[in-house]
Amino acid sequence: MKISFLLHNGYGIGGTIKTTFNLAEALAERHDVEIISVFRHRKVPNFPLDERVRMRHLVDLRTEKEHPRHVRPARVFPASEYRYPQYSELTDERIEECLASLTSDVVIGTRPGLNVHLALQGPRSAVRIGQEHLTLKTHPPALRNELRRAYPRLDGITTVTEADAEAYRTRMRLPGVRLMALPNSIPEPSIPPADGDARIVVAAGRLVRSKRHELLVRAFARVVAERPDWQLRIYGNGDQEEPLRELINELGLYNNAFLMGKATPMDGEWVKASIATVTSSFEPFGMTIVEAMRSGLPVVSTDCEYGPAEIIRDGEDGRLVPVGDEEALAGALLDLIRDDALRHRMRAAALENSRRYDPVPVVAQAEALFEELLERKRSMRGRLRFRVPAPAHVAHTVRDLAMAAAITTVRGLRKVRR
């Protein structure tokens, strides 16, 4: 199969980029795979990419940032989408031209705005799949309405959790669209896993309010009161760095809690610890949870929507605690700190259970979906051959008018908003 991914910016840093690279590399074992990056802003990608996967870009921000059409607002990319300010008349044009030129068997969009482009402009001969890396619940109402109009034109939609797939089934009218949960894949680390003996708890992620690192610092103060020989290391950067530093000093944790900055990749840092923790108020999936487990760490996480409860088996390979409960978080950490045997049992279970997120089983699910939708498309073409065809000029006119109407509707909505 020839498979194309349409990605916002393959030269940046983020979970969607990383999981797209992981899936593309795994698929490249048996298929012809390319990544089409709408934007490029640097010479080489931040994440390494297997040479078997081709990557090309549509707009080079190093030379085209001031392009006359790039300063005019986009009319196809949804205005209600988070990334809308970065899109333009130029991206509308380049994406449409790119999609029209594709000869791929499968084309995969990786965010809502690009999925809308794919639905309206993607090649009808290809299986068109929209990936959702966030959740339906987090999309603003205006975006959900746009997706209700565009998504029925797709062949399939994948979400990263079953809970979100169910939300699409029950809250969106998508007749004929195949809905499936396809989790993010994480390759096995190239270094040996943690041995479970280090007196270190580690957290990783952007230092932003939704990650609730201040809750973790306060909970860890309770841990230190009983076990002052343990450390907390927090990796990442963001606008909460200084408030967190002030809180650490205020609580007298400057010898126990450390802000480590950003580390990419994290493999070498996970294995220095014995426990990982996630304190988010919301996690669409939980890449860091799987990464930590694949490195041999039991994970103590808040039981937030949507990902943690689908990844962690509470009491077996980690612990789930109520969102915002400082006491419960400290208690779960102390349970693992006090009991070496429990920690080692959970460590072994984390290694074993996290194998379901290896690229091999995830790719098998993806390939099965692609084959199912390709067969469905072939079957539909076969049925259409037995119908009396309309004259070619009529068929073309109907198809062209339908496409023009869809795009005109989207553009009209933009004007009304403005």
What's the pLDDT at 384? Answer: 60
Per-residue pLDDT of the chain (418 residues; tens, 9 = 90+): 999 999 999 999 888 999 999 999 999 999 999 999 999 999 999 889 999 999 999 999 999 999 999 999 999 999 999 999 999 999 999 999 999 999 999 999 999 999 999 999 999 999 999 999 999 999 999 999 999 999 999 999 999 999 999 999 999 989 999 999 999 999 999 999 999 999 999 999 999 999 999 999 999 999 999 999 999 999 999 999 999 999 999 999 999 999 999 887 899 999 999 999 999 999 989 999 999 999 999 999 999 988 999 999 999 999 999 999 999 999 999 999 999 999 999 999 999 999 999 999 999 999 999 999 999 998 887 766 555 444 444 444 444 444 444 444 444 544 434 4
Q: Are 285 and 16 in contact (CB under 8 A)?
A: no
- Amino acid at residue number 260: M
Which residues make Cβ contacts (< 8 Å) with residue 371, sequence separation at least 6?
Answer: none
- Hey, what are 142's tokens? 């205006």
Tokens matching residue 369 = 């979906």
Structure tokens at 273: 């610890």
The model carries a pTM of 0.84
Helix (H) or strand (E) holding 118, with range, is: helix 112-121
Taking the CB of residue 374, how many other CB atoms lie within 10 A of it? Answer: 16
- How far is Cα 402 from Cα 418, in angstroms, rounded to an integer? 25
pLDDT digit string, tens, across residues 73-85: 999 999 999 999 9
Give me the domains of the chain, ranges plus CATH numbers: 2-185+360-417 (3.40.50.2000), 200-357 (3.40.50.2000)
Choose among 284, 8, 289: nearest CA to 158.
Answer: 284
Token output for 87: 């899109």
SS3 state at 116 = helix
Cis before 308? omega within 30 = no
Q: How much is the pLDDT for 87?
A: 98
Tens of pLDDT, residue by residue over 138-177, are: 999 999 999 999 999 999 999 999 999 999 999 998 999 9
